[in-house]
Amino acid sequence: MIDLQQFYRVLRSQGVEFVTGVPDTLLNDFCLGLDGCWPGHQHVIAANEGNAIALAAGYHLATGSVPLVYMQNSGLGNAINPLISLADKEVYAIPMLLLIGWRGEPGASDWPQHRRQGELTPVFLDAMGIPYRVLAPEADAMDHAKWALTTAAANCRPTALVVRKGVLALREKAGFDAHGQRYAISREEAIGTILSAAPDNAIFVATTGRATRELHALRDARGESHDRDFLNVGAMGHALSIAAGLALAKNDRAVICLDGDGAALMHMGSLAVTAALGLPNLLHVVLNNGVHESVGGQQTAGFATNLCELAAAVGYRVMSGPIETTDALRKAVRDAFAAKGPSFIEMRIRKGMRTDLPPLRIDPVNSKKRLMNNLSGAK
């Protein structure tokens, strides 16, 4: 791993005044150390990667400086539109440095949802005409950073550093002190409560990250089948829309979306679109711990946003809240399906998960087939 303090000093010396992005596992240590060098509003954790590109563009317009945008390579999908139609040298020619964690790098072991993304990362950058270099443990990261920022400024265009595993993240993801927690209930306890309170044939859609692992582990512990669950292992921020599509097509089945605060904020417009559909069989639960826990524990705007008032404003039936106890959660789930939705619950939870939670090892295609067979009534 490179010397992060030296890396920060190089970025500063090359004129990086503003940093924004969406946290990533492979950039864990880099992200966790940012606030020390870019305090206050000089560092903004964005809702999504496209949001970060636009924030960076606005800062450049006001200052002329070259901003830095960090992301996992999966976030390139969110970033492509503003990179091409806003920052591209043939449009507004806005310089910025992209720092991209390379999940699914060819030849490296990774989960299925990252492999195709890893193959396409250089392809996307080449197609967009974004010059890039790869940061590897043996590479001269300081020289690469200087090259990227100099090239961006001189050519008025985005440039990129693609970061291999172990270059900007070595430590374990953040642990959380049980005595410093704001809320008492864990995410796993909350999901277990929802499983017990839900209608017997309810379909579950779990958001990217630890919610998928915990739902899968709870099914195993309870001796239940996984054929009513969709585990959204990729496509962060889209679990609600998947759940809405299911609820539209299967109006005789209860559908429950287990969302996270970071994921819900990432594509917040889907709340308004989903609520406007008036789906009586849909329950949207946001399990809010105020952090991007799966990638290191960086803060979200989850506790700064009144999610219940927002949900009510767009047309959800809000089942009290925010909720903080399992008794209140159990009652809210039952009331939601008695009253008919679309319904919304915000459950405030503590950070962290148990250390012995098994990894999620599934075949996504087989998992999809089992769910579709359940929905069709096939054996």
- Alpha-carbon gap, residue 283 to 134, rounded angstroms: 43
- Alpha-carbon gap, residue 322 to 176, rounded angstroms: 22
Q: What is the fold, at CATH topology level, of the domain defined by 178-376? A: Rossmann fold (3.40.50)
What was the pLDDT predicted at 139?
76
Closest alpha carbon to 204 in 189, 234, 186, 225 = 225
The Cα diameter of the chain in Å comes to 64
Tell me, yes or no, if the pTM score tops 0.85.
yes
H helical segments located in 277-325: 307-314
Band the pLDDT of 136: cuts 50, 70, 90: confident
Is the predicted pLDDT of residue 267 greater than 70, yes or no? Answer: yes
Q: What's 323's DSSP letter?
A: B
How far is CA 233 from each of CA 121, 219, 260, 283, 349, rounded to the nearest angstrom?
19, 17, 13, 20, 21
Over range 141-167, report the average pLDDT. Answer: 96
What was the pLDDT predicted at 110?
87
Over range 262-286, report the average pLDDT. Answer: 97
Over range 4-28, report the average pLDDT. Answer: 95
Give me the CATH code for the 4-163 domain, please: 3.40.50.970
What was the pLDDT predicted at 331?
97
Residues of the chain with CATH 3.40.50.970: 4-163, 178-376
> Tell me: the pLDDT tens digits for 304-322?
999 999 999 999 999 887 9
> When comparing pLDDT for 119 and 297, which is higher?
119
> Tell me: the pLDDT tens digits for 59-84?
999 999 999 999 999 999 999 999 99
